[in-house]
Structure formats: structure tokens, C-alpha cells
């Protein structure tokens, strides 16, 4: 696991979550930190980037200092036998995390929950990583701590993309004996039409049952299907369901939406990560590198 840290207290929750996953899968935890030399960017504070003054010394000295601090910080929350050598990188955090993630099975990171104009203008580092990284990303923070895993919400829109989240969810459920709720949202706009016709609801419910049998036939009663009919947007419906029936983990796929359409609308996954009170594991099926990359 790759665990990006900025030395803030929020990183504690990412380390605690990574320890939980490492214990489940006999894995290792690699602390990661990225910074930008102050001479490399004009007005860095306005972009929310951590910078290191040139006066601190050469790059090797800076890297050694950061590695030492990173190791000490990580050892406070993860057993030494689970830790590997920290990685220090220079550059934009989201880009360096995405690049480093190619050599790992999962990224575990905290979200500071940035909001308002700064988030609209830049997006948070975690949201950028969600859209660009090649491996699953687990997002936690103080409100979304990963503790015991007994109930998992797994969302699907019946697309092939959403199926990419199925195998990892099944692996987690088998390791933890957790119950999976395979959830589909039927969303409608009440200003334009009434509730969906019964035939539509019946068809969606049948599709959900067939999908469950095809993809999860080998885990028996560890899975149930749930169809939610809501006049809310998909992410609001997921949020409401999670608030009313808290889950230990929410797993969903994202298509890695980018550009103007993302800035104007946002993706369902990013909205869920921003507001839901459970840890979120995101799988980005469209961000897999090409064979020649």
C-alpha cells in the first residue's frame, strides 16, 4: 500500500486504515511524501502546495530529513514489520502520487474535505488522485475511519465500468466475513415526471438479481441486493442511505471524469467521497495504463 502523508494529524487515519488492510491481506505499508521547492513555483501558497525553502540545503539533505520524519511518524501507528522504506518525491502531489501508485496495489489517503471556491478552482489532491490513478484508492478521514468491516455498500449502474469494483469487494468480504449490499439507484426528476413506471422498476430489480447471481454466485448469503428509487441525485441517494443505515465501507467505480464537464457537474464518486460519513474505496476502470505505457 502507498500512503501519502503531509505530516498533519489527518494522516493518522490513513496510517491506521492501512494497518487494518495490511493485517487483513498480509501486506506492507509504504509512507509517501511530496513537496515542491519554493524556487520552482511562483506564489506557491495560493495553490495550496507545501514548499521547502532553498536554504534548507541540497535535495539529498532535504530528502533525508523528510524520510526520517516520515519513518518516525509512520512507526507511531503501523508496526515496523509492516513498513517499507518511505518514498520522498518532488513535484505536484497529485501527479507524484499517481506516478508512484503504478508500483502498488492500493493507495490509502486522507481527505481534508476542502470546499468552496478553492476546491472548485483546484479540486483536492484526493479527488485528483481518484480520477487519475491506476489502482484502487481508499479515502478516510476523522469522520470516515476504517474500523471493523461488517457491512459494505457496493454501488452499480449496470455498466461494465461498475463491475470493476466487484472482485476487490468480494475479496474484502471474504477476508472480513462482511455482508455486501449491491445497490442500484433509480433516480428521477420530480419536476419533469412522476416516479418511474412499475415496469421500469421491475426490470431494474430483475437486472440487479441477475447481476448478483452472475457475479457473486460463490459467496451465498453474504450478499443482498437493494434497489433505491429516489428523486435525489445518485450521490444524494447514496448519502441518505448511508446516513440512515451506516456502512463500514462504501465501494464504487468511477469513470475518471475530467475537464469542463467535471468542473461544472462533478462526478458521483467525488461527491460521495466529499460528503458520505463512511470510508470510500474507489476503483477507476478507465485509468488503466495502456500496454505500451
pLDDT score, position 268:
77
pTM: 0.84
Look at domain 2-140 and name its CATH class.
alpha beta
pLDDT score, position 166:
96
pLDDT score, position 101:
96
Written as nine digits, the cell of 16 is 491506521
Mean pLDDT of the chain: 83
pLDDT tens for the chain, 293 residues: list them: 999 998 888 899 999 999 999 999 999 999 999 987 755 444 444 444 455 554 445 678 888 888 999 999 999 999 999 999 999 999 889 999 999 999 999 999 988 644 444 444 334 788 888 888 989 999 998 888 999 999 999 999 898 888 999 999 999 999 999 999 999 999 887 777 678 888 999 999 999 999 999 999 999 899 999 999 999 888 889 999 998 888 999 999 876 444 444 433 346 777 888 888 899 999 987 655 544 44
* Pairing status of strand 137-140 against strand 280-283: antiparallel
Nearest in space to 34 (alpha carbons), one of 125, 140, 134, 135: 125
Look at domain 151-287 and name its CATH class.
alpha beta
Helix (H) or strand (E) holding 158, with range, is: none
Compute the distance between CA of residue 227 and CA of residue 6 in angstroms, rounded to an integer.
40
Q: Return the bridge partners of 186, or none.
A: 229
Compute the distance between CA of residue 166 and CA of residue 201 in angstroms, rounded to an integer.
23
Q: Could you tell me if 78 and 71 are in contact, meaning their C-beta atoms sit under 8 angstroms apart?
A: no
Written as nine digits, the cell of 293 is 505505457
Residue 156: alpha-carbon gap to chain centroid: 16
In the chain, CATH 3.40.50.620 covers 2-140, 151-287
Amino acid at each position: 500500500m502507498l500512503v501519502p502523508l503531509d505530516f498533519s494529524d489527518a494522516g493518522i487515519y490513513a496510517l491506521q486504515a492501512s494497518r487494518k488492510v495490511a493485517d487483513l491481506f498480509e501486506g506492507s505499508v509504504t509512507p509517501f511524501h511530496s513537496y515542491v521547492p519554493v524556487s520552482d513555483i511562483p506564489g506557491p501558497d495560493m495553490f495550496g502546495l507545501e514548499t521547502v525553502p532553498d536554504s534548507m540545503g541540497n535535495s539529498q539533505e532535504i530528502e533525508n530529513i523528510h524520510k526520517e520524519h516520515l519513518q518516525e511518524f509512520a512507526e507511531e501507528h503501523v508496526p515496523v514489520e509492516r513498513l517499507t522504506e518511505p518514498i520522498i518525491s518532488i513535484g505536484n502531489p497529485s501527479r507524484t502520487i499517481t506516478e508512484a501508485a503504478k508500483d502498488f496495489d492500493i493507495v490509502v489517503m486522507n481527505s481534508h474535505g476542502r470546499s468552496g471556491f478553492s476546491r472548485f478552482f483546484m479540486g483536492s489532491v484526493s479527488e485528483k488522485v481518484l480520477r487519475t490513478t491506476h489502482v484502487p484508492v481508499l479515502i478516510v478521514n476523522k469522520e470516515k475511519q476504517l474500523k471493523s468491516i461488517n457491512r459494505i455498500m457496493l454501488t452499480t449502474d449496470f455498466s461494465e465500468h461498475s463491475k470493476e469494483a466487484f472482485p476487490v469487494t468480494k475479496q474484502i468480504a471474504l477476508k472480513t466475513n462482511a455482508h455486501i449490499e449491491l445497490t442500484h439507484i433509480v433516480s428521477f426528476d420530480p419536476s419533469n415526471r412522476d416516479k418511474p413506471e412499475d415496469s421500469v422498476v421491475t426490470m431494474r430489480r430483475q437486472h440487479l438479481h441477475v447481476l448478483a447471481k452472475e457475479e457473486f454466485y460463490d459467496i451465498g448469503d453474504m450478499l443482498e441486493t437493494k434497489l433505491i428509487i429516489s428523486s435525489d441525485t445518485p450521490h444524494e441517494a447514496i448519502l441518505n442511505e448511508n446516513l440512515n443505515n451506516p456502512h463500514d465501507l462504501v465501494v464504487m467505480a468511477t469513470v475518471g471524469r475530467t475537464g469542463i464537464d467535471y468542473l461544472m457537474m462533478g462526478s458521483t464518486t467525488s461527491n460521495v467521497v466529499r460528503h458520505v460519513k463512511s470510508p470510500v474505496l474507489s476503483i477507476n476502470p478507465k485509468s488503466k495504463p495502456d500496454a505500451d505505457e
